[in-house]
Structure 1
Amino acid sequence: MSRMGRTAGWILSLMLVFGLAAGCADGGNDAERSPEHAEAAGPAGSGSDAGDAAGGEEGEGTLNAGELVYDGEDIKVNQVGYLPDAPKVAVLEGEAKAERFQVVDAETQAVVFEGEVGRAEIDANSGERVRHLDFSALREEGEYEVVVPGAGASRKFRIARNVYYAPFFDALRSYTLGRAGLAIDDPITGLKHEAGHLQDAEARLDIDHPHAPAGTPVDVSGGWYDAGDYGKYVTPGAVTAAQLLLAYELYPEKFTAGQLKFPDGFASDVPGLPDALAEVKVELDWLLKMQRPDGAVYHKVSGLAWPGMIRPEDDTQPRYVFGMTTYGTGMFAGAMALAARVYEPFDAEYAGRLLEAAERAWRFLEAHPEPIVLKSERQDNGSGGYDKNGDQDDRFWAAAELLKTTGDARYAAYIGEKLSHQLQREPVIIGWGSTLALGQFAYATAEAGDPAVKASLRQKLVKAADDIVGRIERDGYRYALSPNEYTWASAKNGMAKAELLLLAHELEPKEAYVHGALDQLHYTLGRNALGTTYLTGSGTEMPDYPHSRMITGTGTYIPGLLVGGPNKFGGDPELDKMLERESPPPAKAYLDSPGSWATNEYAIDYNAPLVFVLTYFAEP
């Protein structure tokens, strides 16, 4: 089905299932948000993001699709497919007694491969008896199904060299579709709306700042909408931009001009600039507007009330520039320093602006060595908190990126004198809640710096990757999360572990790291306990009803959005009710419902590690 056709069918389904016209949902009665766009360090204990997330949510899920996703298939596969020369494993769950399986041509049903069913094991995260079906020896490109006597057939999937290019394209292009302040008429997805939040050009300072009193207008137009809401936040914005730029820095051959098929009026005027860099520049330009004259960086832009499930142009409430934090300033400095070296070959003047902004932010941090969080009582009334304890990892990342970009030894000296404790820490997945691994990788790959420190950091990143591989090998679905890591953004966190594996692979190439990263991708794209992908528009079974004001408000299904995934800890009324009623195992605590922002919302930082991983594997 074409994308436009899928959108039409989705709108009809929305109307039939929910009894209301898409785009007309009453979004009032928003409630304060629990930790959301997070890789939660709280109950997860995985050293990942914690804190409130953006997007306020209806306490009464008006679009009531809140049912546990039906696990109707016994044979779980990556529904997008597999690379010809890579391992290929399906997972059989249940009590089927068959000892052999077949792979058949999806069209002719001719048997193309036959193999033995693996030994049974109990997967703790799903509560299932699972067996592996290994067909790695099948390398011929085509469309197939896996068949097991007594268990039926799997979803269709492809084996092809370019099998991951479509999700790569969709996931990367999702940022284009989430630009703020621009009208769009997209011929690919059918997304069409007028320019929204033009009032951001004169947003008002919420509190007094050293350079201007509360109420002063500030131009903070542009950038990307963060998630299912219309807020714009420095911390996820900076970390997202950094991961996309790091993907470009490591794999530049994967990005070209014209690649994203920009809608009219969206293309860059910088000659030869790859589309991905043109897109990230949209967010960087907004981040530059969020910097105070003294180098510190404001926290976020939003209104004082959660908007309803409406189109962006219909959210006409006044917008405010809220807060300032040193952790956000550190993330800003790290992202800008990285960006400066990426853009230098294309636009030296712009790269100079980025580096100057990074150095100005760094001077503010040097002058203010203790954490600072400026926040008003009303700041989170209509947007997510993105609160964080401490800023040392962000200062470390900023210094490491500045060291790598400038080669100035004073940054290495500062790290050795002021941030030496960060050198002893073990890596955790990348996110706005922890930028440590970004700093570790930057320092480890810098030309300047202490050779002994670089060697130590490389060793830490490699050991972290080895630990992830060990966890994968103990999981029935070969997913890297432990039971308590099925929390906010579990789907994102799996991709972030894949990202760490690929970063370690850059330092010490190992086939196990690449295969482990693929295993996380297989899980995200359907080889999981629920047999659904967690990426809109990819696979046969996918999130049909993400929590998104853009999707619901415009009535347009948008592909390429990674939703949060299973969350055993709850966090929205629909999910909490389902958990109480069903008591599902961790890997099945998911709702495909617009009312479940704790499991079914997209965010820009969710997509960032997914794009990074897909960049490595995608071929046009």
Structure 2
Amino acid sequence: MNEMELNDRIKVNQVGYVPGETNRAMLAGEGGGDVFRVIDTATGETVLEGELSQPVMDEDAGETVREMDLSGVTKFGEYRIEVEEVGYSHPFRIAADVYERVFMEVTRSYTLGRSGVAIEDPVTGLSHPGGHRQDAEARLDPDFPDQAADEPIDVSGGWYDAGDYGKYITPAATTVAQLLLSYELYPEAYQSLELHIPEGLADPAQAAWPDVLEEVKFELDWMLKMQREDGAVYHKLSGMQWPGMIRPDQDTQPRYLFGMSTYGTAMYAGALAIAARVYVPFDEAYASELLASAEAAQQYLERHPDPRFVKTARQDAGSGGYEKSGDRGERYWAAAELLKTTGEARYAELLETMLATQAAGQVETIGWASGLSLGHFALATAAGAPEQHQATARRLLVEEARSIVARSEADGYRYALQSEQYTWASAKNGMALAQLLLLADQLEPQTANRAVALEQLHYTLGRNTLGTTYVTGAGHVMPRNPHHRIMVSTGAYVPGLVVGGPNRYGGDPAIDRVLQEQAPPPAKAYLDIVDSYSTNEYAIDYNAPLVFVLAGLAR
């Protein structure tokens, strides 16, 4: 028999698997033997032999898929899979701590995306002198209708949102909310998490804090600066031109505050209400400041009950729009979170009215465009909430979890994403489904919730039709050329960035051309090139559900 070769038809989680779980690999396409073997790469010994499942057609991938059950391998080590007449897989680890490194890198990426500070990182080699110092003297959009654009406003700090240099309230709020909720639910996962914050960036006053809370505070401090005196929150901060692939310090154009939205203000209130709970044991005065700011935003919303989004002619000339219609789900989330944090009866009364107007039976993945499911979870777990309303919120999340499980079990790759969900940020959307499973599991534990959440993680980390992870630095085949100005301009490779993933609808000239000329299946509509910003750009809210899921799955 000829010597076997690496064959990417064999799909594995390239980071690895946790022993004791139901662990699977996949064989894509036609042909090959019916027997697989798991080989210990250190000894060359076969540790498991099994039969492949019957093929199942995966329509989104455009190919048949066969499963290989690896669950019988429980000894820590490095392995590979061999299939006769096919070849062997990339190596993978089996260990209890197999996800610790990617958990650290995905969380640490926020540190390396800080704005306004010099970065000298000995871990990645990332080095730049810091940029956008002009954010300390930002101006209001000259066309802003609500107030005169006269005095400069200090909105320095925070994280760059994505591959560009804009900073936006809606993804900031939902990112902070997910990170803090994961800490609140799974504090043990963060006990040993060290972000190796570079010298000069760590705050000595926070030395005893969990690293994740120190990092999130850097973003919260920026968010606080984005609040107006009337309680509303500006929509975003950016220049009026898209910068080229240059370092932050080379983007010297004036920076402006643009827009205001009631949905963004509500997201801000919800996120800061969570933060007010989480930071109490570490800095009670800071927690009080956060709560007061959240309540000021809520009071603005109550004074202005109709949805409002301020948008001017030049608002999106140099930054992302982050525009959506409606704000009911976000108002609901804000009120539920404030009830959970304060226990004040007035928020329960407000929710009583809101529940009649919310989309009954609806659950949405968490992201910059929706805080609805965060509202459901807050209501379901808030002391003092009316029992019948808690039961409704609990039922919605639990029923959605059952639906996600059913979709996963019917899919060739056990991926729960529906065909139409292979859109902008599909990789994030998949992890957001896993996140919903873990939230539902907090309310009504089911073995399938954790198991299917793991299936979504396996897909993201390489067990998919393209055989790539969607996280920089993770696995053997990974995004090498993300649309990311800091990486391109400095030449440093930053691990831990979740990229957009397959996008069947396109959105940039490169992928649009592929879609037109090749018509790939939805799950294959991805390009690992810098120019494909609709499939290969990172964003802070893409990372957030992965951080949440990795914390939730840690044992």
TM-score range, shorter chain: over 0.9
TM alignment of 1:29-428, pairs within 5 A? 73-207=8-142, 212-256=147-191, 259-268=194-203, 269-422=205-358, 424-428=360-364
Q: Tell whether the 8 Å contact from 1:207 to 1:322 is kept in structure 2 after alignment.
A: no
CA contact under 8 A between 1:561 and 1:602: conserved in structure 2? yes
Q: Which stretch shows the higher mean deviation, 96-105 or 281-290?
A: 96-105
- Give the alignment partner of residue 511 of structure 2, picking from 575, 586, 606: 575
In 2, Cα distance between equivalents of 1:122 and 1:424: 34
- TM-score for the superposition, normalised by structure 1: 0.87
How many Å separate the matches in 1 of 2:445 and 2:138? Answer: 48
Pair 388,581 (structure 1): closer, same or farther in 2 beyond 3 Å: same
- Distance change >3 Å, CA 151–CA 442, structure 1 → 2: same
Structure 1 runs of 4+ aligned residues shifted over 3 Å read 207-212
Deviation for aligned residue 1:100: 1.2
Structure 1 position 257, deviation (Å): 7.5
How far apart in 2 are the matches of 1:565 and 1:196? 29
Aligned-residue offset at 1:455: 1.0
Using a 3 Å threshold, how does the CA distance of structure 1 residues 477 and 211 change in structure 2: closer, same or farther? Answer: closer
Aligned to 1:537: 473
Equivalent position SS for 2:73: coil
Deviation track 1:561-584 (CA, whole Å, cap 9, x = no partner) reads 000000111110000111112111
Q: Is the 8 A contact 2:32 2:83 kept in 1?
A: no
* Residue aligning to 2:368: 432
Give the secondary-structure state (helix, strand or coil) at the position aligned to 2:117.
coil
**CA–CA distance in 1 between the matches of 2:72 and 2:362?**
37
In 1, Cα distance between the equivalents of 2:24 and 2:513?
A: 35
1:524 aligns with 2:463: no
Secondary structure in structure 2 of the residue aligned to 1:324: strand
Give the percent of matched residue pairs that are identical in Structure 1 and Structure 2: 58
Q: Distance in 2 between matches of 1:604 and 1:441?
A: 22
After TM superposition, the structure 1 = structure 2 runs for residues 433-512 of structure 1, keeping only pairs within 5 Å, are 433-512=369-448
The one-letter amino acid paired with 1:535 is: V
Q: Which moved more, 1:264-273 or 1:452-461?
A: 264-273
Residue in 1 that maps onto 2:530: 594
Cα displacement (A) at 1:211: 8.0
Amino acid at match of 2:186: Y
Q: Which runs of 5+ in 1 are unaligned?
A: 1-70
Q: CA RMSD, aligned part only?
A: 1.4
Give the conservation status (yes or no) of the 8 Å contact 2:7–2:86: no
- What amino acid is the match of 2:440? A
The residue type equivalent to 1:366 in the other structure is: E
Note if contact 2:144-2:259 (Cα within 8 Å) is conserved in structure 1. Answer: no
Query: Which consecutive unaligned segments of at least 5 residues does structure 2 have?
Result: 1-5
CA distance in 2, matches of 1:382, 1:212: 22
Count, aligned residues? 549
| Partner Cα distance (2:193, 2:76) in 1 | 27
Structure 1, residues 545-597: CA drift from partner, whole Å, max 9, x if none?
A: 00000100111110000000001111100001111121111111100000000
Higher relative contact order (CA 8 A, sep 6+): 1
Code of the residue aligned with 1:232 in structure 2: it is K
The one-letter code of the counterpart of 1:117 is L
Cα distance between partner residues in 2 of 1:404 and 1:496: 23
Counterpart position of 1:55? none
> Aligned to 1:136, what secondary structure does the other structure show?
coil
- 1:106 Cα shift? 1.6
2:7 and 2:88 in contact (8 A); partners too? no
Deviation at 1:372, TM superposition (A): 1.2
Distance 1:252 1:538 in 2: 24
Structure 2 length normalisation: TM-score?
0.97
Output one character per residue of 1:60-83: Cα deviation in whole Å (capped at 9) or x when no partner: xxxxxxxxxxx9611100000000
